[in-house]
């Protein structure tokens, strides 16, 4: 008899990419309570940044353009490489999201999340 090793609702069946997306979503939901305008922003997870980057960014922010909403991108592989476990990854993901939201809104990261850098 063949079938999945675990049912889809069990965390075992979640891929690393799915787990990472969940971390980003958790961070976004945490910030949306304080900044409701973030509901208009697209949050995207990409594996790696494009080849035109001089350094390896952890995230990027793009302002809204004609016919497209603002977008914040978090790069999964660079974040994963810099962390050892899920807790560290969750902290770094939140920091990246806060930094990119701050850049998009023209604020300091501490204004976006008063607990920024304290974890």
pLDDT digits (tens, 9 = 90+) for 14-36: 688 999 999 999 999 999 999 99
pLDDT digits (tens, 9 = 90+) for 51-110: 876 788 999 999 998 999 999 999 999 999 999 999 999 999 999 999 999 999 999 999
* All residues at 6 or more sequence positions from 48 whose CB lies less than 8 Å from its CB, including other chains: 75, 76, 77, 78
Cα 35 from Cα 28, distance rounded (Å): 10
Cα 80 from Cα 86, distance rounded (Å): 9
């Amino acid at each position: 008899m063949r079938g999945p090793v675990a049912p889809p609702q069990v965390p075992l069946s979640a891929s690393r990419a799915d787990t990472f997306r969940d971390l980003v979503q958790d961070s976004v939901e945490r910030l949306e309570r304080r900044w409701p305008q973030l509901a208009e922003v697209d949050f995207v997870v990409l594996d790696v940044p494009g080849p035109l980057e001089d350094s390896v960014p952890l995230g990027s922010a793009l302002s809204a353009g004609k016919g497209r909403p603002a977008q914040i991108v978090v790069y999964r592989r660079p974040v994963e490489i810099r962390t050892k476990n899920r807790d560290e990854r969750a902290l770094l993901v939140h920091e990246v999201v806060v930094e990119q939201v701050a850049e998009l809104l023209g604020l300091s990261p501490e204004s976006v999340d008063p607990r920024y850098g304290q974890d």
